[in-house]
Structure 1
Amino acid sequence: MTREQRLVLTIAVLGSFVSFLDGTLATVALPAIKAELGGGLSAQQWIVDAYLITLGALMLLAGSLSDLYGRLRVLTVGLIGFGAASAAIAAASSTEMIIAFRAVQGVGGALLVPSSLALIMSNFSGPAQARAIGSWTGWTSVASLAGPVIGGGFIDLVSWRVAFLVNVLPIAVSLVLLSRLQQRDVRRDGASIDYPGAVLAVVGLGGTVFALIEQGNLGWSHPLIWAPFAGGILALAGFLRRQQTAREPIMPLSLFRIGNFAWGNLATTFIYAALSLSGFVVVVYLQQGAGFGATQAGLALIPATVAMILLSPVAGRLAGRYGPRPFMTAGPLLAGTGFLLMLRVRDPIDYWTQMFPGAVVFGLGLTLTVAPLTSAVLGAVDPSRSGIASAVNNAVSRVAGLVAVALVGLVVQEQLDLAGFHRGLVATAVLMLIGAIVSWLGIRTSRPEQSTEQPAGGVR
């Protein structure tokens, strides 16, 4: 790699790292937040999902913002906004304040991921691009898996409040490196923003998720449940209709006519729903049900983190050589098997015999899955559309996680005890299996579709 490419890859990894890190760090902080500020299962779900609602809905808008204002500028704004929201969470005096600032944090996170991936796609090509994507997916996946470990350490040794400030250093480093890039920022001439589409997406996701989380408390017959749910469904239908008619849609439905893009996003839905569900269930149960400390709970899936660090670039390179299909099929099957192995957990828990083997198998499966999945989706479209393609794929993964966490109450039946933990593991394995089947049926080795659009202009 050239000096500029090394800088680009480092910025892309660090910029996305903080978003993925806080996405899972909050989960391990939930018991500590509950102990200090109160709140039940629904409050814990909202602390996770408030972030995912704005992250998933506005990530689509962020792809258009990158086209209009330039990916470097959007990345800079996202980093500053994310850091400010993190500081506000650390100073919050109630769960309601945490939920509100988590939503703001999601806005900042939404600006980071699409811009980071688009930066990679525009600076790398061919096998080098596959390796760069492999490194990006490896390190961002490590961030998701390391969030509970890093957060748990700060929670046990200092405070959950300090845990939300761990991203200050990577944000500062990213801003410094951005100032050293020599390339001009790029924006697309004639780009515009579909604000009505963004509003419909936020209202649609917010209404449906509110109903899914709170139905356990109020019941489906309550007006505060069925009314937001119905309104959310109508808003989502309006969003899809809007994307058919908007001049510059934030989620171009034409992309879904591309085979690997459509099937890859469908696989993403099930695989990332499984990851979010398992992350919530495992980390919260180990603390509230099995009596683990925050650090111990965070370390429970550390074998997966090690596997991602060591093997993700290799998986990306092999997927570039042999195609993503075999990896996207075998990987989820292996990961699902890992969760089924964790069904051996009993009370009292013996981590090394009951959880560790499953964590190792899960880590190997996840490593085989993530980089090939990203390559399959982004490699299916023309590089000039990589920004919006990455935004759509990452939004799909976040929305899938959002819905999965919202449905935790239905899966575990309102109580995350040992039986509920086992139900969560089985549901996770089933989602992984469906992801593997979708990948086998739909993913093919193919060349990117050719865009009919004009190349993006190089305006600063």
Structure 2
Amino acid sequence: MAMSEWKPLVPLCAGAAMLLLDVTVVNVALPSAAAELRAGFTELQWTVDVYVLALAALLLGAGSAADRFGRRRTYVVGLAAFGAASLACGLSPAPGALIAARAVQGVAAACLFATAPALLDQTYRGRARGFAFGVWGGVSAAAAAAGPVVGGVLTHYLGWRWIFLVNVPVSAAALVLALRLFPRSARDPRRRLDLLGTGAFAVSAGALVYLLIRGGAVGWTSTAALVLLAVCLLALVVFALVERRRAFPVLEPALLRRKPFLGASVAAVALTVSAYSYLLYVSLRLQTHDGLSALQTGLVLAPLGVTAMISALLRGRSPDHPPPRVPIALGLLLIAAGALVMLVAGTSWPSVLVGTAVTGTGTGLVSPVLAATAIGAVPGDRAGMASAVNAACRQLGTAVGIALFGAVYARHGLPVLYAISAAVGITGAAVVWPLLRTARPGRPRTHPIHPTGPRAPESRSRP
């Protein structure tokens, strides 16, 4: 790719880095924030939880809005809102203000996560498309693992507020670049927003994520947990009934009958459960048992992000791209192998270093291909929907995995977590292999596009 063809990747990768870092970057800064704001434990939990709740619950709605109003516009709005919310977080005078700002951050993150793959899909094609998705996927995987490291460094040297304030200039720069580099993407004024479907999914996903986050604390069979489960299931039934009757649903049920799309969704869940869900508990073990600091622990886990970036870039630069099921299945098997390394070699930091390096290699193979495969399985005007569904599967997989692993860790410790991770990776590879049999690296285009990179300049005048 020529240097000019790199430019559209910058705002997209910046958005991915910010939104995924902010899932975990807060954890190591919570004690400092609590001391300064005089926040209680419940308020600290909400600072973390409300971001994940908003992000997971509104992803489908953001994807539908992107198809209706244009992906460029939705992404730009997301960048502006994320920067403003980050500033509000950094200047928060009280716990309530911080929680409210984090909720807005989550909404903005949903706009970014739901639209970025669709923007990549409309901007690149051919080898450039594979490389672009490789870079974006590598950055995403690295950012997901780098939160504790970044949070530890910023909190130690600059203070907890800077974990949010650092997003402000990044958001502003990415916003300027997005406005300059992305042509106005197609809009469908006839497409009505599915507010009822969006609301039903948001309630169902929100209740599920909150149940998974708080279930261990309140008791899985408590009245509160059972009420949350009932709300989740009822809202899911309403969502399914609504989507069957909508002319412009937020999720077309017919898409789930497309095996490549379903396979990419299953792989997204398997990826996040097997690769990321145990990291929190590994971090706790290294700090409480091995005596490592937060910064040292982050450095031990850093190979996951580094090898993910390297493998994603190497695959993107390869002139030959096999069918998507090959890197996805191989990547899930490598993730399982990384977990098995730690299961066999033990939980000391050297074995974690090696195991996460192997796992990172697998995630670097899977992450870039997932979104491209999901988008490639649907018509072009449903790219935002496909991108949002795949992102929602990843976020819900993370929430499910963390909750499941938390319950197991409390009783059985890390070895069983590694065994579960390996089992999920192997099972995921076996399930997606037949589902992705007909999946292809790209989708035939119905609009003009530059043969090797971004769209030609004349496409910028498109309404």
TM-score, with structure 2 as normaliser: 0.86
Q: Secondary structure at the match of 1:300?
A: helix
Hey, what does 1:383 align to over in structure 2?
380
**In structure 1, which of residues 384, 389, 392 is the aligned counterpart of residue 389 of structure 2?**
392
Q: Deviations over 1:228-278 (max 9, x none)?
A: 221121112211222221221111221122211111111211211233412
Report 1:97-108 matches (<5 A).
Answer: 98-108=98-108
| 1:394 to partner: Cα distance | 0.8
User: Partners in 2 of 1:430 and 1:282 — Cα distance?
Assistant: 18
On the 8 A contact 2:370/2:390 being kept in 1, the answer is no
Give 2:26's aligned amino acid. A
Report 1:327-338 matches (<5 A).
Answer: 327-338=327-338
| 1:190 to partner: Cα distance | 0.9
Hey, what does 2:450 align to over in structure 1?
none
User: Partners in 2 of 1:446 and 1:319 — Cα distance?
Assistant: 19
User: Partners in 2 of 1:4 and 1:225 — Cα distance?
Assistant: 53
On the 8 A contact 1:152/1:297 being kept in 2, the answer is no
| 1:322 to partner: Cα distance | 1.5
Q: Deviations over 1:396-423 (max 9, x none)?
A: 111111222333442223x7xxx53333
User: Partners in 2 of 1:198 and 1:446 — Cα distance?
Assistant: 28
Q: Deviations over 1:149-184 (max 9, x none)?
A: 222211222323322323223212111212323733
Is 1:364 the counterpart of 2:361? The answer is yes
On the 8 A contact 1:378/1:390 being kept in 2, the answer is yes
Q: Which moved more, 1:316-325 or 1:64-73?
A: 316-325
Distance 1:203-1:438 versus aligned 2 partners, 3 A rule: same
User: Partners in 1 of 2:40 and 2:285 — Cα distance?
Assistant: 16
Hey, what does 1:428 align to over in structure 2?
421
On the 8 A contact 1:209/1:406 being kept in 2, the answer is no
**In structure 2, which of residues 403, 406, 416 is the aligned counterpart of residue 406 of structure 1?**
403
Report 1:337-352 matches (<5 A).
Answer: 337-343=337-343, 350-352=348-350
| 1:220 to partner: Cα distance | 4.0
Hey, what does 1:168 align to over in structure 2?
168
Distance 1:256-1:91 versus aligned 2 partners, 3 A rule: same
Hey, what does 1:14 align to over in structure 2?
14
Give 1:437's aligned amino acid. A
User: Partners in 2 of 1:100 and 1:337 — Cα distance?
Assistant: 41
Q: Secondary structure at the match of 1:291?
A: coil
Identity rate, percent: 34
Distance 1:213-1:311 versus aligned 2 partners, 3 A rule: closer
Q: Secondary structure at the match of 1:355?
A: helix
Q: Structure 2: any 5+ residue segments left out of the alignment? A: 447-458
Report 1:20-39 matches (<5 A).
Answer: 20-30=20-30
Q: Secondary structure at the match of 1:115?
A: helix
Distance 1:408-1:159 versus aligned 2 partners, 3 A rule: farther
Hey, what does 1:355 align to over in structure 2?
352
Is 1:443 the counterpart of 2:439? The answer is no
Give 1:171's aligned amino acid. S
Q: Secondary structure at the match of 2:389?
A: helix
Q: Which moved more, 1:144-153 or 1:220-229?
A: 220-229
On the 8 A contact 1:30/1:284 being kept in 2, the answer is no
Hey, what does 1:180 align to over in structure 2?
180
On the 8 A contact 1:89/1:164 being kept in 2, the answer is yes
On the 8 A contact 2:308/2:362 being kept in 1, the answer is no
Q: Deviations over 1:336-365 (max 9, x none)?
A: 22123224676xx7523x322212211222
Q: Which moved more, 1:104-113 or 1:172-181?
A: 172-181
| 1:304 to partner: Cα distance | 2.1
On the 8 A contact 2:409/2:416 being kept in 1, the answer is yes
Give 1:154's aligned amino acid. L
User: Partners in 1 of 2:35 and 2:419 — Cα distance?
Assistant: 29
Is 1:323 the counterpart of 2:316? The answer is no
Q: How many residues align?
A: 450
Hey, what does 2:195 align to over in structure 1?
195
User: Partners in 2 of 1:332 and 1:408 — Cα distance?
Assistant: 18
Q: Which moved more, 1:64-73 or 1:277-286?
A: 277-286
Hey, what does 2:240 align to over in structure 1?
240
Is 1:156 the counterpart of 2:149? The answer is no
TM-score, with structure 1 as normaliser: 0.87
User: Partners in 1 of 2:134 and 2:342 — Cα distance?
Assistant: 28
Hey, what does 1:128 align to over in structure 2?
128
Give 1:358's aligned amino acid. G
User: Partners in 2 of 1:262 and 1:208 — Cα distance?
Assistant: 21
